[in-house]
Amino acid sequence: MKKILLFCFLTLSLGLNAQTYTPVAANLAQREKFQDMKFGLFIHWGIYSQLGAGEWVMNDKKIPYDSYKRLSDFFNPQGYSAHDWVQFAKTSGMKYITVTSRHHDGFSMFGTKASPYNIVDASPYHKDPIKELAEECEKEGIELHFYYSLLDWGRKDYAYGSPIVNGKPEKGDWDSYINFMKTQLTELITNYPAVKGIWFDGHWERKDVNWHYDEIYALIHKLNPAIMIGNNHHMATIPGEDFQLFEKDLPGNNHTGFSGEATISKLPLETCETINNTWGFSITDRSFKSSKQIIHYLVGAAGKNANFLLNIGPMPNGKIQPEFTDTMAIVGAWVKKNGESIYGTRGNTIAEQPWGLVTSKKQNLYVHVLSTPEQPYILIPGLKAKVKSAALFNGGKAIKFKQQAEGVFVYLNGITLDPNDTIVKLTTD
């Protein structure tokens, strides 16, 4: 009986009220396209960028909301260029962009009629950078997704910190807040028609509240059935979601502690990670990941059948710092050369091995040797398809192989391993 009551409570708190969801053809096609893209750019940018201490600075520094809101009075990013952002993504080999439309501080980075607390009305910039980005993405063939925060540290109807009673904050007006979100989401989908994804975050702040996902997800799919919904709730997926998110971990890993309740679904997968240690701009964070680390993360995600969404935090003026552009130019050159082994592939054909991972596409397997094996060969276990040929992906040099009951042995004698990734292409029947 206790288990039944717990299930009912969790169902209510998630907002699943007898919800059912059957994706239509346009949505299924978008899922397939999403999986083919493999590499995306995550952008955290807002008025918090001006303090140079990450996107959680209001909460971390315990800045009173009324004081924090003054940041909008002098947020004037004259260096912002949608063209430069999109070209950065393209040069890096990325196929889509997910940008923060509204973060936990509640400031909307787009023109909205639902609240005056937005970049058009509350800042001297008086322009809509999201609109410019949407137009540039459509022009350049880059897909656009919107990050949207469920959590709001400042709105009175959200009542941050209030006890939750019967699925609602005791001191807030939950119905008002849900309607506010519905209004903004309607704006984001109808005013920026090229958008193809909504990336929710903040559920984990209130696990015992009724988020009305049945209503919110249904609204989004009604406005545009092709839009893919993902939710960074760190749990198993729920009805209405179209892809599963993993924060700072590859699917199946839980190094950060965010994925303890997240069983891997059959939906398209995506993992997100920062290029340094913070999501928003930090003036002190110089823990920049190397091009090799990023390449390995991309290969790791693809090998585990997931997309890789790499985050940057642009500076307050809207420019991307040179440390990011320099590193991603190297990554982009690698992707341009080796993209066949990443784009359009599927993973989990072969489980991750000590030496690396395998991606597949049609009759080809791409064997990514990321670390030097202990023996002068590698074993691809459990491969049943008959291998016709094996060759280095770069240069096409034929490689000796032997297929046996336990798998395929690929011999690396005399092969100089690439410091980033030695790719062997196997062609099968």
* 371 shares a domain with 334: no
How many domains does the chain divide into? 2
* 371 shares a domain with 308: no
The Cα 340–Cα 353 span in angstroms is 21
Q: Which of 316, 341, 366 is the last residue of a domain?
A: 341
Q: What is the pLDDT of residue 19?
A: 62
**Splitting the chain (429 residues) into consecutive groups of 10 residues, what average pLDDT does each group show?**
42 50 96 98 98 98 98 98 98 98 98 98 98 98 98 98 96 98 98 96 96 98 97 96 96 83 92 98 97 98 98 98 98 98 96 97 97 95 94 96 96 95 97
The Cα 95–Cα 89 span in angstroms is 7
In sequence order, the β-bridge partners of residue 392 are 424
* 317 shares a domain with 360: no
* 234 shares a domain with 183: yes
Q: What is the pLDDT of residue 192?
A: 96
Domain that residue 410 falls in = 356-428
CA 150 vs CA 3, 262, 357, 429: distances in Å: 28, 19, 36, 49
* 386 shares a domain with 268: no
* 363 shares a domain with 306: no
Look at residue 320 and tell me if it is in a domain: yes
Q: Which of 292, 309, 341 is the last residue of a domain?
A: 341
* 23 shares a domain with 154: yes
The amino acid at 298:
L
The Cα 260–Cα 238 span in angstroms is 16
* 381 shares a domain with 241: no
Q: What long-range pairs does 19-28 form, CB within 8 A, spacing at least 24? A: 19/213, 19/214, 19/217, 19/218, 19/239, 19/240, 20/239, 21/217, 21/218, 21/221, 21/239, 21/240, 23/225, 23/242, 24/225, 26/225, 26/226, 27/221, 27/225, 27/226, 27/227, 27/228, 27/242
CA 210 vs CA 9, 144, 178, 198: distances in Å: 10, 29, 10, 19
Q: What is the pLDDT of residue 20?
A: 82
Q: Which of 341, 375, 396 is the last residue of a domain?
A: 341
